[in-house]
Amino acid sequence: MRSVKSKNTGPERALARALTRLGVKFVRHAQLPGSPDFALPQARLAVFVHGCFWHCCARHFSAPKSRAAAWARHFAKNRARDLRVRRLLRLRLWRTMVVWEHEAACTAAARVRRRAESWR
Ligand SMILES: [Zn+2]
């Protein structure tokens, strides 16, 4: 269900601003498996911003009460796709990391920068 992944959501825009403030160079929605929200080509790091609901965040997710089985299938499909995308990126020698929509943008950006610098 590609349609659930909306582009340029509020958390993504906030992270983009915070990364720019830290001087981190990134590409939005690069031509890579899973179309990562942010790609840092020099560090070969792909960053996905995950919504707490769609990606079942451990802190904020609670399963919808109605149509429970359909939702469960849907979330399982999301998870399977996340794993597949991560595997494909790894095969291309890209690292991946997830930023949650509930994270403060400045904290998340600092985490991304640390991760980027931990390699090159
Ligand atoms: Zn959350």
- Compute, in angstroms, the gap from residue 58 CA to the centroid of ligand 1: 7
Tally Cβ neighbours within 10 Å of residue 49: 24
Q: Please name the residue ranges forming H helices in 1-120.
A: 10-21, 68-91, 105-117
pLDDT score of 65: 92
Q: Residue 24 pLDDT > 80, yes or no?
A: yes
CA distances from 38 to 52, 62, 64, 70, 96 (A): 18, 27, 29, 30, 10
23 in helix, strand or coil? coil
Q: Residue 26 pLDDT > 60, yes or no?
A: yes
Q: Which residues surround ligand 1, an ion (CB under 5 A)?
A: 52, 57, 59-60, 100, 102
pLDDT score of 9: 80
- Compute, in angstroms, the gap from residue 120 CA to the centroid of ligand 1: 30
Residue-wise pLDDT for 31-73, tens only, equals 999 999 999 999 999 999 999 999 999 999 998 999 999 999 9
